[in-house]
Amino acid sequence: MQKENKEARLKKMTNLGISQLKEHFNYSQKTILDKLETLGSSISTATLSNILTGKRTVGIVKLGRVAKGLEEILKAELDLKYDSEKGEFIKLNSKDWQPYVIPGKAIMTPDQPDIQIFSNGRITVQQKTEFIAEARKEVIEVGARLNSFSSYFFSQNESEYKNHIIALLKKGVHIRSYLLDPVSKEAMMYFNDRAEVLPLEKESIEDMKKIIYKLKLVQAEFRKMNLAGNFEIYTYKHIPFSQFLIVDGAEVGGKMMMSHYLYGIKRADCPVFEISRANHSRLFKKYWESVQLFLRNAQRLD
C-alpha cells in the first residue's frame, strides 16, 4: 500500500505541476519536456502522456524523476513547492526569490552548432558585455594575467564596459576574477617557458603586478558605491591552461566561454569556445568541475 500511495502522490504532483505551468505560462508539452531534459529529468513524450492519461503504468523511478524535475521548474519560475499534506503546490514567499526561467534545449541549425567557436580569438567588448548581461548570481573571469579584463576599465568608454559591470553589481551579481600569482614558482616556470618562442612573455610578471594594482583601484571604487554585489580579485598557483568567462556556472542556465592556451600562440589569438549547461550538459559539467578544482585554493586579495 505504501508504494501505491507514493505512486498516487507522484502522479498527482506531476499532473498538478503541468497544470500550473500551462495555466501561468501556456507551456506546450514539448517545452516542458525540454526543460525536464535540461534538469536531467528527461522522459519521452509517450511516457509523459501515459502519466497524464493513466492509460499505462509508469515505473515509480520515472514518476519520481519527473515529479522532482517539475518541482524544480515551479520553484525557479513561480516560487512554488509541493505540499504533500495539502496535496497541492503552495507559494513559498521566499525572501530572496527572483523568477528564473529554466532554459530548454535550443534548436540548432547546421550553421549554428551547439558549441559556438570564435576561431579568430578574443571576443569583442560588446560580445562580452552581451554574454554576461543576464547573469543572476555570479560572473567568473579566469586568466593568466587578466590584462584585457583590467584594461577595459581604463581604456574603454565607461558606457562600453564599466557601466555594464556596475549594472550587474547593482542587482547583486558577484564578479570574481582570478589570475596567476605573479610571485609564485608556477608563474616563473610558465612565463619563462612561453618566452622561448614569445620573448615578450618575460615581462609578464612585472606587468601582472601593475594589473593587480589597477584591479584594486577598481575594487576600491566599487566598494565606495556600496553595491549589492562584490567585486573580488583572487590569485592561484597552478600552470594556466585556459581562459574562462563563466556566467552562473552552478545554475541550470549556466554558460561559459573558454580559450585554451596554445603554445607559441598569443593568448589573444587562441580560439574561443562557447557552451551552455542546457545545450551540452555533460561537457559543461566536466569543465565546471575542473574550474572548481583549479580555483579551490585561490587566495582572495583585499
Per residue in 189-229, pLDDT tens?
999 999 999 999 999 999 999 999 999 999 999 999 999 99
pTM of the complete model: 0.72
Alpha-carbon span 10 to 73, nearest angstrom? 15
- Give me the phi and psi of 92, to 5 degrees please: -85, -30
SS3 call for 296: coil
State whether the Cα torsion 10-16-22-24 is positive or negative: negative
Alpha-carbon span 138 to 132, nearest angstrom? 9
Determine the average pLDDT of the residues in 53-81: 86
Predicted local distance difference test score (pLDDT) of residue 272: 94
Per residue in 128-181, pLDDT tens?
999 999 898 999 999 999 999 999 999 999 999 999 999 999 999 999 999 999
Q: Report whether 186 contacts 180 (CB < 8 A).
A: yes
Residues 6+ apart with CB under 8 A from 134: 247
Q: What is the pairing mode between strands 138-142 and 174-180?
A: parallel
Confidence label for 59 from pLDDT (cuts 50, 70 and 90)? confident
Residues 6+ apart with CB under 8 A from 176: 138, 139, 140, 141, 230, 232, 234
Alpha-carbon span 182 to 189, nearest angstrom? 11
Alpha-carbon span 128 to 151, nearest angstrom? 14
The CATH fold of domain 116-301:
Endonuclease; Chain A (3.30.870)
DSSP string, 80-135: EEEETTTTEEEE---TT----PPPPPP---TTS-SSEEETTSSPPHHHHHHHHTT-
Predicted local distance difference test score (pLDDT) of residue 169: 96
